Amino acid sequence: MITVDRLTKTYGAYTAVDDVSFACQPGRVTGFLGPNGAGKTTTMRVMVGLTLPTRGQVTIGGLKYHDIPNPGRHVGTLLDASAQHVGRTGREILTIAAKTMGLPSSRVDEMLALVGLNDNESTRRLRNYSLGMKQRLGIAHALLGDPSVLILDEPANGLDPAGIRWMRGLLKGYADRGGTVLLSSHLLHEVEMIADEMILIGHGKIVAQGDKKSLLAGANGSATTLVTSLDNAALGAALSQGGHGVEPMGDGLKVQATPEQVGRAALSAGVVLTDLRSGGAGLEDLFLELTSDTAREAVPGVGAPTTGGTPA
């Protein structure tokens, strides 16, 4: 539905987006992932005509955004939840948008209810909103026109864990009903739970794209497993003998092998496993590795990720 075709945007000598092409399909959530300043926002701004591309183009359903009549009814956009007049109430902000799109004011009430802003909150002025409330309002704003395409820039920013879970369910349901969702994030965990397809961008260039499985498969066999057993020493020895890299981590071990290989090693060594899971860090390592030369800070030694590496 969204087709980005050889998009390039330069500001003087600085190239914000460098020859980027990808497509977002209906019925799927596409995650747009990259460190700060990677070019995600610029790409999304070009999609909705706020920024003119230097080269290339973006079409939505075959049309340029400029040529979509009453575009709010087709494409829901959240680029920056704070980019609203701080002197307006949440309800007034939605009312203005509803009037622009020619929607009845009942639609405003529906959306406020959907994102869980109550009467008291919706009549407060935006300057008194927390970031999470602004974000909910922004999502309501994007959904107002019942669009078939959603473009959301860092929508989870500022939401509490319950809010993030709520949004995940909302977007999943939206895509299941045939909608096209593109959401950006700089947090891998946020995206990998919900995205059917991921696009990794660093320094304005796409470094990888595909679903989670194919991304991991492409990461030259760097599958890792986190395992805890009643006898870590024996298990570690067995795995090392099998040619797998083993290092202690927390109460257990981090192994350069698939969970299946670790399970088989434990079976043959007769060690009881108390915890066995795929190292979610695999994708994270990949993400950091792919974008590291472009990230602002060098990645500190691989040895100390947050214990467990539980996907959010």
Partner 1 sequence: MSTPTPIPMLDVSGTPRTPITRLVGVEFRKAIDTRAGFWLATSILGLVLVVLMIFTLLVDGQKDFGDLLSVAGGVLGYFLPILVIMLVTSEQSQRNGLVTFTLEPQRSRVVAAKFLAGLCLAGTVMVLAVILAAAFTVLGALTGESPSWTIDGNLLFNGFVLANVIGILVGFAISMLVMNTPAGIVAYFAYSLILPSAAGILSALSSGFEKVAPWIEFNTAQMPLFSGDYQPSGQEWAQIATSGFIWLVVPLALGLMRLMRIEFK
The closest alpha carbon to 93, from 46, 57, 138, 48, belongs to 138
The two tokens of residue 181 are 């969702």
**By the criterion CB under 8 A, which residues form the site for partner 1?**
1, 3, 21-23, 25-26, 45, 48-51, 59-63, 65-66, 68-74, 77, 79-80, 82-88, 92, 96-97, 99-102, 141, 148-149, 206, 209
Q: Which bin fits 310, alpha (ψ -120 to 50), beta or left (φ > 0)?
A: beta
Tell me the pairing of strands 205-210 and 246-249: unpaired
Which residues 6+ apart lie within 8 Å of 99 measured at CB? none
Bridge partners, 4 (sequence order): 22, 58
Q: How far is the CB of 162 from partner 1 (least distance, A)?
A: 27
CB nearer to partner 1: give 61 or 263: 61
CB nearer to partner 1: give 50 or 113: 50
Q: How far is the CB of 218 from partner 1 (least distance, A)?
A: 12
- What gap in Å lies between CA 168 and CA 302, rounded to an integer? 29
CB nearer to partner 1: give 21 or 130: 21
- Supply the angle between the helices 131-143 and 106-115 in degrees, to the nearest 10: 130
Q: How far is the CB of 142 from partner 1 (least distance, A)?
A: 10
- Report the SS3 class of residue 248: strand
CB nearer to partner 1: give 95 or 258: 95
CB nearer to partner 1: give 101 or 216: 101
DSSP at 182:
E
- Report the SS3 class of residue 237: helix
